[in-house]
Amino acid sequence: MHLSSRLPQGFEPNALTAALAQVKAEGREFLDLTVSNPSRCGFTYPEAELCAALSSPAGLAYDPDPLGSRTAREAIAAHHGHGLRADDLLLTASTSEAYGLLFKLLGDPGDEVLVPSPSYPLFHWLARLEGLNARSVPSYFHDRWHLDLGGLEAAVSTQTRAIVVVSPNNPTGHFLSRTEWQGLTELCASHGLALLVDEVFADYALEAPADRLETALADLDPPCPVFLLSGLSKVAALPMLKLGWVAVRGPGAGPHLEALAFLADQYLSVSAPVQAAAPTLLALAPGLREQVRLRLVANLFALDDALLPHPHLARLPVEGGWSALLRRPALDGDEACALRLLEATSTLVHPGSFFDLPGDGHLVLSLLTPEAVFREGLGRIFPLL
């Protein structure tokens, strides 16, 4: 039977995934410094309020709206502010689904989107599954991460349809600056491109510079089509409740939203209970985010403290998000280093190469890790770096 060429040629795990599977199969305990699922990180969830919201009788009524329920969209608009209206929003089951709809909207098979790197490795496959190509354009590091606006413009071709940015970036934590935002929107406007802005981590500023763009919604009248993505997974630390959204602004916003509604109408994937619960979930979100924020700050402090006796190691600035980049002497490749640490210390870290970090010499640590586990893990791996 023929399978689509959009799929991988094989489904064999990479070396680190295979090694971790072996550790699990042998029943060996290990410390996970890559955990990014807040529901597995020991946070206290208001179970009674969450369960009550999800058991509302309103969740039993099936009244499909391709844009999503107005009540939920009004709550999301109020959460964001900046003049956002319910009529500017489309609900999805996740930001990944939102990307799929946007790639369907913006491109034909063979077209491409530009993605600054380093970045989360999901975009390649989300684009490929829609018949598009995601081309990486390297950012550069000088005291902090910077978009290479010249590189992005040089990469634009007749097949380019959009630029995708994440602010703050995962895993670099880089927030777009206001200057970068102006350059991006002008570049997209001049080449007839859309700008997709993923702000799922925007509520988690840590060492953010004064010139950061807090949200793309602060630009009420961008010169190019702007699609902002977010969702409950990070906004409320509720990845188990699948609800994402797209806010549409800029030239053609009305027709773009109408076309997105047509696409969403073919799936109607957002569940009624989570839409009915959305106002309550967003009201509970600040308390959940504060727990996460305190964990991030504590682990960043622990990382700095643990680095003091190891002057050959350093971390890069963490403007925002849930990850920290550890810089080490590149005595071996990043993946080889991660494999070595897993075998020698039973501690899992991500190699920087998984995120297209340039060269070797970077490891990616999750600041979401429970604090005691994070400190113990650092104590295990640092002597071997």
10-20 pLDDT, tens digit each:
889 999 999 99
Q: Answer yes or no: do 324 and 271 share one domain.
A: no
Q: Answer yes or no: do 164 and 213 share one domain.
A: yes
Exposure of 333 by Cβ count < 10 A (0-12 exposed, 13-18 middle, 19+ buried)?
Answer: middle
Segment holding 365, helix H or strand E:
strand 362-366
d(CA 241, CA 278): 10
Average pLDDT over residues 127-138: 97
The answer as to whether 8 is a domain residue is no
d(CA 235, CA 289): 7
Name the 3-class secondary structure at 118.
coil
Kindly tell me if the per-residue pLDDT of 236 is higher than 90.
Answer: yes
- The confidence score (pLDDT) of residue 59 equals 84
Average pLDDT over residues 30-36: 97
Q: Answer yes or no: do 169 and 231 share one domain.
A: yes
Q: Answer yes or no: do 317 and 353 share one domain.
A: yes
Digit-coded pLDDT (tens) for 51-95: 999 998 888 888 889 999 999 999 999 999 999 999 999 999 999
The answer as to whether 50 is a domain residue is no
Kindly tell me if the per-residue pLDDT of 328 is higher than 90.
Answer: yes
Among 224, 258, 283, residue at a domain's last position: 283
Q: Answer yes or no: do 299 and 248 share one domain.
A: no
The answer as to whether 2 is a domain residue is no
**Paired strand residues for 164:** 196
Single-letter code of the amino acid located at 175: F
Q: Answer yes or no: do 177 and 35 share one domain.
A: no
Q: Answer yes or no: do 106 and 250 share one domain.
A: yes
Reading the block at residue 330, the tokens are 């590149």
- Please list the alpha-helical segments (H only) found in the chain: 15-25, 47-54, 70-80, 95-106, 122-129, 149-155, 178-191, 232-235, 253-265, 272-307, 334-345, 371-381
Digit-coded pLDDT (tens) for 166-210: 999 999 999 999 999 999 999 999 999 999 999 999 999 999 999
Q: Check if the beta carbon of residue 358 is closer than 8 Å to that of residue 325.
A: no
Among 232, 267, 283, residue at a domain's last position: 283
> What is the overall mean pLDDT for the chain?
96
Q: Are strands 112-117 and 133-138 parallel, antiparallel or unpaired?
A: parallel
Kindly tell me if the per-residue pLDDT of 365 is higher than 90.
Answer: yes
CATH number of the CATH domain containing 73 = 3.40.640.10
The answer as to whether 1 is a domain residue is no
- The confidence score (pLDDT) of residue 216 equals 98
The answer as to whether 148 is a domain residue is yes
CATH number of the CATH domain containing 349 = 3.90.1150.10
Digit-coded pLDDT (tens) for 138-177: 999 999 999 999 999 999 999 999 999 999 999 999 999 9
The answer as to whether 51 is a domain residue is no
Number of domains in the chain: 2
Name the 3-class secondary structure at 6.
coil
Between 369 and 3, the higher pLDDT residue: 369
The answer as to whether 241 is a domain residue is yes
The percentage of residues in the chain with a pLDDT greater than 90, rounded to a whole number, is 94
Among 221, 251, 283, residue at a domain's last position: 283
Q: Answer yes or no: do 201 and 305 share one domain.
A: no
Q: Answer yes or no: do 202 and 333 share one domain.
A: no
d(CA 203, CA 217): 14
Q: Answer yes or no: do 92 and 233 share one domain.
A: yes
Average pLDDT over residues 378-382: 98
- The confidence score (pLDDT) of residue 62 equals 87
The percentage of residues in the chain with a pLDDT greater than 70, rounded to a whole number, is 100
Residue 301's nearest CA partner among 201, 234, 375 is 375
- The confidence score (pLDDT) of residue 10 equals 86
Using pLDDT thresholds of 50, 70 and 90, give the confidence band for residue 297: very high
The answer as to whether 55 is a domain residue is no
Q: Answer yes or no: do 83 and 198 share one domain.
A: yes
Q: Answer yes or no: do 21 and 88 share one domain.
A: no
- The confidence score (pLDDT) of residue 58 equals 87
Q: Which domain holds residue 74?
A: 62-283
